[in-house]
Structure 1
Amino acid sequence: MSTFGQIFRVTTYGESHCKGVGCIVDGCPPGLEITEAEIQVQLDRRRPGQSHLTTPRSESDTVTIQSGTEFNYTLGTPICMTVPNKDQKPHDYTETDFYPRPSHADWTYLQKYGVKASSGGGRSSARETIGRVAAGAVAEKYLKQLGIEIVAFVSAVGPVRLPILDDFSEQSSKDFTALIDSVTRDQVDQFITRCPIKDLSDKMTNEIEKRIVEKNSIGGVVTCVIRNCPLGLGEPCFDKLEATLAHAMLSIPATKGFEFGSGFYGTTLSGSEHNDPFIPDGKGGLKTTKNHSGGIQGGISNGENIYFNVAFKPAATISVSQATSTYDGTQGTLEARGRHDPCVLPRAVPIVEAMASLVIMDAIMIQNSRALANSRLPAIPENLKGINPLQTKIKLT
């Protein structure tokens, strides 16, 4: 389906080479101040042609809000945002009339629908994500007023990787914790790779440049942190917060994996090594000592930083000649044309941030609706909450 979310619902529309793409946002609270310029900031971070490391397709991706706002304030009605496709070159894709591109969606779309877009990737193209980023910018504006910060960055390109991805040593963990505690989008955007660590960024640039010369592509990892997330978000059992984040991230084109918190490395630890003991947070609540849980326990946010990794494959469309088959099974050679990203990672960063914003926004609205309904009922007696208030107080002092 093309709709995501339960209360804050986003529907994206458009194909890579149609007249335009965009989204409809339904369920946005009325009274939120939002402008096209604010949305444009994130779209500019996603658009093609930003550097020599991205596709040269020239699109300004200028957004127009067509409905749902007046005098720059939301009305509570559906918000429609559209972005025109201007730099279209459908003749660059005539070979796909005969060959389904390896690892692309040409074959599967044709089998599913009996028809496919004749140029570009249609709905499977990363151009579809423009609507996600525009909607995410609206959600993010609301979240910022709650103090919530979402920052993503490139942590791996091919073999060039942030140490924490392969080494959970004490020093690597400390360095990573310091990074996600403080990294900002301005710091990330200082580098064309969107990796905020200069020496790693330089190595990533070299890795991508090699693929450009080879007319090939390379994959990698985007890491994202959500700071100041409220406690209590997430809907067990099937809509746990990590499950909705995984759903959101794995719906992004070219994604191949998702892990949060200690991730796959955590499987190598014993329970005593992995468990997060609780300590007082100095504000009347609790915090964990290590945050191996990645800010989520039992599918519910616990107030710590939520962090996760998203794996992206090498872009499927490349200009290297590939031995493959035509739609009728005749073997041949495909030499793709067109303008393609040698590495999708730099442009994927704002998409990951947008999808994280949509997940957290929807989760907050769901939790707020529960809290409002609960506020109409008598208070729950202390002896029914499953804790002994006196014993709890004694243990924490």
Structure 2
Amino acid sequence: MSNTFGTIFRITTFGESHGVGIGVTIDGCPAGLAVDVADIQAALDRRRPGQSDLTTPRKEADQVEVLSGLFGGMTTGTPIGLLIRNQDQASHDYSHIEHAYRPSHADYTYDQKYGRRDYRGGGRSSARETAARVAAGVVAQKLLAHYGIEVASYVSQVGAVAVPVGYEELDLSLIDSNPVRCPHPETAERMAALIRQTRDRHDTVGGIVTGVVRHVPAGLGEPVFDKLHAELGKAMLSINAVKGFEYGSGFAGTLLFGSEHNDQFYTDEAGEVRTRTNHSGGIQGGISNGQDIYFRVAFKPVATILQPQQTINDQGEEISLAGKGRHDPCVLPRAVPIVDAMTNLVLADMILRARANKV
């Protein structure tokens, strides 16, 4: 099983949804970065369950414990160990699926790959694992801050309800002003109403998170196979429930002619190289060009629904199965800090790799 992400700035996560806890080891982080544990906790609080009526009511404090690698509020250059203990498991809610395969879950595929599975909340396949990534992402963010790089993500669409403008026209300081984490207040209200209606129908709904990275230096990315957009795509597609990733103009760019799509260069008044448009999404040839990086991540509806569905058990018998327990009607609000974290991790790794490219 692959549990490690990154080349120089590397993380390895461990633990299961209903085990003792989950955690992460961070290796390759330079010494001398100021890391406040309160900042890690704040990021975990954005991802944790039970934070509003739009999320699962499971109550987890997600209190982080530092096991190693930090001393006096600074990174020491040694592996950083972070642990988050589980506290509010309700494993009995999953006894009915011990032998059943839930539709669109990892139950069947884990059984086929390993010959066994932890059916309590999905075990290692549970999205609870992403809390460890969020904790590690804060450490990566501290490295990015050293270089002036800013990362922000927000909910841009829930179901068919979408923000009507691009990120350039939004005040991203409003992301956390509402429980949906959408910086367009009017749209956020409509999104929240849709999520509540969906929850009341015992159903789920998906959507899109938009990520934005500003003040990125030109030159990040490792062609040929580790292009910056390829690494971002891998990072986002590794998140539970993600079904798609596009950057820059994405699929909409296929509707333009080359004369419309090309980003023409110019030198601004400060002598900086800029582009007149940014259809490339800040990445050309797999390398950052100094413009804003922006991308969109598509999340499917949560697979667990509190309605009867047809499936089979591990004996191949057809059965009817309805979800039980506490689940999100929409994963989008809690996915925002996960997208932030994975973006931070990719860019932190790329910064360290870029330092080895030239004298």
Among 164, 169, 172, the alignment partner of 1:183 is 172
Report the aligned-residue RMSD.
Answer: 1.0
Measured in 2, the distance between the counterparts of 1:336 and 1:291 equals 44
Tell me what 1:391 maps to: none
* SS in structure 2 of the partner of residue 216 of structure 1: coil
* SS in structure 1 of the partner of residue 120 of structure 2: coil
Measured in 2, the distance between the counterparts of 1:39 and 1:98 equals 38
Indicate yes or no: 2:219 matched with 1:218: no
Tell me what 1:303 maps to: 290
Q: Which whole-Å deviations, capped at 9, do the CAs of 1:213-234 have from their partners, x for residues lacking one?
A: 1111000000000000111000
Assess if the C-alpha contact under 8 Å between 1:95 and 1:336 holds in 2.
Answer: no
Indicate yes or no: 2:49 matched with 1:52: no
Tell me what 1:238 maps to: 225
Q: Which whole-Å deviations, capped at 9, do the CAs of 1:257-295 have from their partners, x for residues lacking one?
A: 000000000001000011111111333231111101000
Cα drift, residue 359 of structure 1: 0.4
Q: Which whole-Å deviations, capped at 9, do the CAs of 1:98-120 have from their partners, x for residues lacking one?
A: 21110000110111011101311
Tell me what 1:345 maps to: 332
* SS in structure 2 of the partner of residue 307 of structure 1: strand
Cα drift, residue 323 of structure 1: 1.7
Among 269, 273, 281, the alignment partner of 2:268 is 281
Q: How many residues align?
A: 358
Measured in 2, the distance between the counterparts of 1:298 and 1:284 equals 23
Tell me what 1:70 maps to: 71
Measured in 1, the distance between the counterparts of 2:270 and 2:117 equals 56
The 5 A counterparts of 1:148-227 are 148-163=149-164, 172=165, 175-179=166-170, 182-184=171-173, 187-227=174-214
Measured in 1, the distance between the counterparts of 2:339 and 2:222 equals 21
TM-score under structure 2 length normalisation: 0.98
* SS in structure 2 of the partner of residue 253 of structure 1: coil
Moved more, 282-291 or 27-36: 282-291
Indicate yes or no: 2:133 matched with 1:144: no
The 5 A counterparts of 1:314-329 are 314-329=301-316
* SS in structure 2 of the partner of residue 370 of structure 1: coil
Measured in 1, the distance between the counterparts of 2:253 and 2:304 equals 34
Among 241, 251, 269, the alignment partner of 2:256 is 269
Cα drift, residue 369 of structure 1: 2.0
Measured in 2, the distance between the counterparts of 1:281 and 1:83 equals 48
* SS in structure 2 of the partner of residue 292 of structure 1: coil
Cα drift, residue 146 of structure 1: 1.6
Gaps of 5+ in 1: 164-171, 376-397
Measured in 2, the distance between the counterparts of 1:199 and 1:31 equals 43
Measured in 1, the distance between the counterparts of 2:311 and 2:156 equals 33
Measured in 1, the distance between the counterparts of 2:160 and 2:293 equals 25
Measured in 2, the distance between the counterparts of 1:216 and 1:327 equals 25
Q: Which whole-Å deviations, capped at 9, do the CAs of 1:73-132 have from their partners, x for residues lacking one?
A: 111010000000000111000111121110000110111011101311111111000110
TM-score under structure 1 length normalisation: 0.89
Tell me what 1:131 maps to: 132
Measured in 2, the distance between the counterparts of 1:322 and 1:108 equals 18
Assess if the C-alpha contact under 8 Å between 2:107 and 2:119 holds in 1.
Answer: no
Tell me what 1:252 maps to: 239
Tell me what 1:91 maps to: 92
Quick check: which has more Rg, 1 or 2? Answer: 1
Measured in 2, the distance between the counterparts of 1:191 and 1:281 equals 37
Cα drift, residue 254 of structure 1: 0.4
Identity rate, percent: 54
Assess if the C-alpha contact under 8 Å between 2:3 and 2:12 holds in 1.
Answer: yes
Gaps of 5+ in 2: none
Q: Residue 358 of structure 1 aligns to which amino acid in structure 2?
A: L
* SS in structure 1 of the partner of residue 57 of structure 2: coil
Assess if the C-alpha contact under 8 Å between 2:204 and 2:301 holds in 1.
Answer: yes
Tell me what 1:294 maps to: 281
Assess if the C-alpha contact under 8 Å between 1:8 and 1:362 holds in 2.
Answer: yes
Cα drift, residue 35 of structure 1: 2.3
Tell me what 1:105 maps to: 106
Assess if the C-alpha contact under 8 Å between 2:206 and 2:302 holds in 1.
Answer: yes
Measured in 2, the distance between the counterparts of 1:31 and 1:99 equals 50
Assess if the C-alpha contact under 8 Å between 2:212 and 2:293 holds in 1.
Answer: yes
Cα drift, residue 370 of structure 1: 2.0
